[in-house]
Structure 1
Amino acid sequence: METSPTSRTQPDTAGPAWADPGSGHYAVLLASISVVVILSNIGGSKGVQFGPIITDGGFFLFPLAYILGDVITELYGARAARRAIVMGFIAAVVSVICYAIIIVLPGFNDDYGIAKQSALETALGPVWQIVLAGLLGYAAGQTLNSTVMVLMKRRTLERGLFARLASSTGLGELVDTLVFCTVAATAIGITTVGQWANYTCFGFVYKVAVQYAVMPATAWLIKWLKRHEPSYRPR
C-alpha cells in the first residue's frame, strides 16, 4: 500500500517500498519532465519526413517523458507520478498562454518585424493543438503506464523491474500514440488516412524501441536513486 507523500518512514509491512517525494531527486525529475513536455510540444508542431516515414519534430524528445515517468513511478509511487503528470500539464498550458501573448504583442512595422511576426504565428500558433493532443494522450498513456507499474510492483516488490518497465511501456505508449497522433495530425499538415497511419505506426514503434533500448540505463538509474534516497527502504 502506498504511503503518504509527507512521511519519511516506511511502515513495517509486506507492501512495496516508496521513497518520499519531498526529496531533491524528485524535484529534479519533476523539473526535467516538465521541460521535456514543453520542448516536445514545440517540436511537435513541425511535420518531419525521412523518405517514406512521417513524424514530427518532437519525436526524439517525447520518449524521455515516459522514461522519467517510469523512474518517478518506481521510486515514489502512483501519487507522485500523478503529481508529475499534472505539473507537466500546467507547464504546457502556461507555455501556450505565453506564446499567445507573445504573438499578440505589437511588433515592429519594418520588413524584418513583419517577417518575424509571421514566423512566430506559423511556428507557435499551432502549438495549442499539439498541447491539447499531448495532454489527452499523455494523461491516458502515462496514467495507464503508472498504474501497470504500481500494480506489478505490489505483486513482485523489488523483483521484476525489467518486466514492469517493458509491460507498462508498451501499453502506455500504444494508448498515448493513438490519441496524440489523431488529435495532432492536422496541426502538422497530415490530411489523409494513409499519412495518419504512417505517423501513428512509426511513432509507436519508435517510442517503444527507444524505451526498450535504454531500459538497462533506466534500470541502472532507478537502482542508483534507490540507493541514494534516504527514505527508500526496499523489502
Structure 2
Amino acid sequence: MSSLQSNSSPAPAPALKSGPVFAAVGSRYYGILLACMAVIVILSNIGASKGVQFGPIVTDGGFFLFPFAYILGDVISEIYGFKMARKAIFTTFALSVFASLAYWVIIALPGFTDDYGVAKQNALEVALGPVPQIVLASLLAFLAGQTINSLIMVRLKARQGERKLWVRLMGSSGVGEFVDTLIFCTIAAPVIGIVGFGMFANYVIVGFLYKTGVEYLLVPVTTLVIGWVKRREPTYGA
C-alpha cells in the first residue's frame, strides 16, 4: 500500500523561469534593427550640420530623423536585453566615427581645378566640414542617452515582466532624450551657428520636446513592432 501511494504521488511541477525574458541573437531581425539604427544616426549627423529655423523655433536638419534611432534602441533593449543594446550602441558609435573619417578623406583628396570642381569642393567643405564636431557631439550624446535609455528599459522590465510596455517606452525615452539633447546641443551649437543663451535654450528645449513628443506619439507603433518581432523571434521566451 505504501508503495502504491509512493508511485501515485504527483510529480513536482517544473520550475518557472524568473526575471525578464529576452531573445538570443540568432535570427535576421537584430541585424536589420542595428543596420537601420546606424544609418539613421549617420544621416542625422550630416543633417545636424545645418541650422534650421521655423519662425521662432530653432533646430537642425537632422531633427526629423534622430527620434527613430531611440525608437529602434527601445525595440532592441526590450527584445534582446541590455548587453545586445550596448553592442548596438557601440557598433553605431564606431560606424559614425568611420563615416566622419571618410568625409575627412573625401574633402582632403585633390579635386578638379576648373570652376565647377572648385565649387563642388567648397560645397563639400561647407556641408561636411563641420561634421567631425557634430559627430563628436552626437556620439557622446548618443552613448550617454542610449545607455541610460536601455538601462531604464531593462530594469523596468525586470520588475514588470511583459506588462506595461508603454511605461517602459515613455519613461526611458524621456530621461534618455533629455541627457542626449543637453550634451549634443552644448557641443554642437557653435558649429551650427547657434549663439547666445536665448537661442541655445530654444535649441535645447525645442529639441527635447520634439524628440520626446515624437517617441510618445509613436508608442502605439513601437508597441506593435515589438510585438511583431517578439512573435517571430524563435528564442524569445524559450
Q: Distance in 2 between matches of 1:87 and 1:159?
A: 30
For the pair 1:213 / 2:220, whether they are aligned, the reply is no
Which residue in the other structure is 2:12 paired with? Answer: none
Q: TM-score, normalized by length of structure 1?
A: 0.94
Which residue in the other structure is 2:151 paired with? Answer: 147
Structure 1 runs of 4+ aligned residues shifted over 4 Å read: none
For the pair 1:103 / 2:107, whether they are aligned, the reply is yes
Which residue in the other structure is 1:8 paired with? Answer: none
CA drift at 1:13: 2.2
Q: Which moved more, 1:214-223 or 1:13-22?
A: 13-22
CA drift at 1:207: 0.3
Q: Distance in 2 between matches of 1:68 and 1:208?
A: 14
Matches of residues 122-161 of structure 1 in structure 2 within 5 Å?
A: 122-161=126-165
Q: TM-score, normalized by length of structure 2?
A: 0.92
SS at match of 1:49: strand
Aligned residues: 224
Which residue in the other structure is 1:59 paired with? Answer: 63
Matches of residues 167-182 of structure 1 in structure 2 within 5 Å?
A: 167-182=171-186
Which residue in the other structure is 1:233 paired with? Answer: 237
CA drift at 1:12: 5.3
1:88 corresponds to which of 85, 92, 103? 92
Which residue in the other structure is 1:23 paired with? Answer: 27
Which residue in the other structure is 1:5 paired with? Answer: none
Q: Distance in 2 between matches of 1:107 and 1:22?
A: 45
SS at match of 2:237: coil
One-letter amino acid of the counterpart of residue 193, structure 1: F
Q: Distance in 2 between matches of 1:110 and 1:12?
A: 73
Cα RMSD after superposing both structures:
1.1
Structure having the higher Rg: 2
Unaligned runs of at least 5 residues, structure 2: 1-14
Q: Distance in 2 between matches of 1:170 and 1:187?
A: 26
Which residue in the other structure is 2:192 paired with? Answer: 188
One-letter amino acid of the counterpart of residue 143, structure 1: T
Q: Distance in 2 between matches of 1:60 and 1:198?
A: 17
One-letter amino acid of the counterpart of residue 222, structure 1: I
Q: Distance in 1 between matches of 2:184 and 2:27?
A: 32
Q: Which moved more, 1:54-63 or 1:185-194?
A: 185-194
One-letter amino acid of the counterpart of residue 177, structure 2: E
CA drift at 1:15: 1.1
CA drift at 1:134: 0.6
Which residue in the other structure is 2:52 paired with? Answer: 48
Q: Distance in 1 between matches of 2:16 and 2:134?
A: 45
One-letter amino acid of the counterpart of residue 148, structure 1: I
Which residue in the other structure is 2:79 paired with? Answer: 75
Which residue in the other structure is 2:123 paired with? Answer: 119
Unaligned runs of at least 5 residues, structure 1: 1-10
